[in-house]
Amino acid sequence: MRILLISLAIASLSACGFVGFPGVYKINVEQGNIVTPEMVAQLKPGMTRRQVKFILGTPLVEDTFDIDRWDYIYSKRNGKKILSESRLTVLFDGDQLATITGDLAPSDWGAQESTPPAPAEPELDREPPPGIPVP
């Protein structure tokens, strides 16, 4: 009888964890960097890290294994429910902005990049330096 009462008490107390309390207020929690499409539109290929940081702010995640990658993540939650979430990844080549990807990245972002200049043609009529035999 005693074991039956103990098991009944344990079962009834564990069932209390599944009941949600009505009317409990859950606040909205905003985390991360707020990045707007207007801010992303200001980014141009070839900008320096300092210029990107001025426009977008300090990145939420600076990858320690890949120093050329910055991640800007924003989420808004109400309790456990995600209300909105956005991600933006900024990739650098050295100190120059190379690529942006993510929810806010425009599809034609790399299109405004200027085409690289054509390589210079070799000069064939040039005289070789003294002491070098000509074939």
pLDDT, one tens digit per residue, over 22-38 is 667 778 888 888 888 89
Q: Residue with structure tokens 């005693």?
A: 2
- How many other C-beta atoms lie within 10 A of the C-beta of residue 56? 21
Domain residue limits, the chain: 27-108
Secondary structure (DSSP) of 9-65: HHHHHHHGGGPPPTT----EEEEE----HHHHHT--TT-BHHHHHHHH-S-SEE-SS
> How many CA atoms are closer than 13 Å to the CA of 30, on its beta-carbon side?
3
Q: Would you place residue 83 in the very low, low, confident or very high pLDDT band (cuts 50, 70, 90)? A: confident
Residues 6+ apart with CB under 8 A from 24: none
- How many other C-beta atoms lie within 10 A of the C-beta of residue 40? 20
Tens-digit pLDDT profile for residues 57-69: 998 877 788 889 9
Strands (E), 52-117: 61-62, 69-78, 81-93, 96-102
Query: Tell me: domain 27-108, CATH 3.40.630, correct?
Result: no
